[in-house]
Amino acid sequence: MSGDELSAQDVYDVWRIRDAVFAVEQQVDEEDVDGRDLLASTTHLWLRDGDGLTSYLRVYVGGDGLRHIGRVCTRKDQRGRGHSGRLMAEVTRLWGAGELHLNAQAPLERWYMSFGYVRSGEDYLEAGIVHVPMKRLAEGRS
């Protein structure tokens, strides 16, 4: 769903899962709200159950004109069930014909590699967590 189509409930549900994972579990003390969520050029993908969103990510077109994946998270009680993998597969289905970029938390580098992403730069610190810039080339490019 594009950012300009989100209902108030959708926004609440998105920020709820991101708050639980990033602020509470990972103790990230930087602001989550960055001005991208409500843009028409941002797409939000999620899975849900009776307790709310189980897994979430967003895809946005950055100021560099490139498509970026971010805020990938899964509710603690739903991890290990392949939910985020399903969302990543959907991103590839929707935009795999183009180049895709993401900033992976370092422990997840191998997981993102399983979806065709490769390291595209040096490690860096963001929100107190070591990250790795990664990209996936457009399908058919090597």
pLDDT in tens, 30-40: 899 999 999 99
Distance (Å, whole) CA 126 – CA 124: 7
**One CATH from 2.30.130.30, 3.40.630.30, 3.40.50.10440, 3.40.50.300 for 3-136:** 3.40.630.30
DSSP 8-state secondary structure symbol assigned to residue 141: -
Domains of the chain by residue range: 3-136
pTM: 0.94
Would you give the distance in Å from CA 12 to the centre of its chain?
Answer: 17
Whether the per-residue pLDDT at 48 is higher than 70: the answer is yes
What average pLDDT does the segment 111-138 reach? Answer: 96
Mean pLDDT score across all residues of the chain: 95
pLDDT band at 102 (very low <50, low <70, confident <90, very high): very high
CA nearest neighbour of 3 among 30, 34, 49, 29: 34
Q: Span 67-84, mean pLDDT?
A: 97
Residue 72, token pair as written in the block: 């990938």
- Confidence bin at 142 (pLDDT 50/70/90): low
- Both tokens of residue 83? 């939910």
